[in-house]
Structure 1
């Protein structure tokens, strides 16, 4: 069995927040939305059903916990959760806080405009501290 290796595109477009039991919790480098990416640390996974039943249950528990923490940390109107992966095939789950009136509300975030990297490191750090605290 091969070792887990993070897809280079995910690595390039996000940064590690923390490791959970199954997933890497990462923040997407796009300040337009509080946008997290969860990547199960299992080699060769493309679909949720590729995971063992135990890992499927762990993924659901972690996504649920992260979604609730994101809502608490941001006060979002809606939390979007999706495992699309048409371009990046490695199994990953997007967890995105959406607000009425945000860029492209109520449309999807994918393919809308250009990413806006976090220019203010303190803004990003404050958000991540609130998120990690909400996960505790």
Structure 2
């Protein structure tokens, strides 16, 4: 059983400015990064003041891995991307968050990292909402074993 989510949980203002909410899983908030060049989703554990993986309880660590794995499986199943990059840097935003970025040979940053490569190319407001809805549907409808996680999406 998961330990209770501590309150108050607030997404860092920089993450909030750069993303659009997709939904909440048992532990994490799922966000869509607002850069139309990449399928880029971010998991943020809904635990206040956590900056490092080791600050989560063991149960929370296991749940975050499950959520990351499920997200990764769906991203890979829904994309013809060359590579899935997963990273938790925290140099700019210290709040613990895990990026999941689908990469394509020849994308704007290939083969280097997307972080700091160039300014984001934001979706239009309508396209951002539509893309978030697309990921909600893909996650809900996936044949991957994610059904129990996706009840809140």
- Give the TM-score normalised by the residue count of structure 1: 0.91
The total of aligned residue pairs comes to: 136
Counterpart Cα distance in 1 of 2:49 and 2:132: 32
Q: Over the residues paired in the alignment, what is the CA RMSD in angstroms?
A: 1.8
Partner residue of 1:79 out of 76, 81, 84: 84
Runs of 4+ in 1 over 4 A off after TM superposition: none
The whole-number CA distance in structure 1 between the counterparts of 2:80 and 2:63 is 25
Cα distance 1:23–1:126, how it changes in 2: closer, same or farther (>3 A)?
Answer: closer
Q: Are 2:60 and 1:52 aligned? A: no
The residue that corresponds to 1:29 in the other structure is 34
1:56 Cα offset (Å)? 0.4
For structure 1, the residue ranges without an aligned partner over 5 or more in a row are none
Q: Are positions 1:4 and 2:12 aligned together? A: no
SS for the counterpart of 1:49 is helix
Please say which of residues 39-48 and 122-131 is displaced more in the overlay: 122-131
Q: What pairs up with 1:1-136 in 2 under 5 angstroms?
A: 2-119=7-124, 121=127, 124=131, 127-128=134-135, 129-134=137-142, 136=147
TM (norm. structure 2) is 0.81
Uncovered stretches (5+) of structure 2, i.e. residues with no partner: 1-5, 148-153
Q: In structure 2, how many angstroms separate the alpha carbons of the residues matched to 1:125 and 1:2?
A: 26
Q: Kindly state the Cα deviation for residue 41 of structure 1 after the two structures are TM-superposed.
A: 0.2
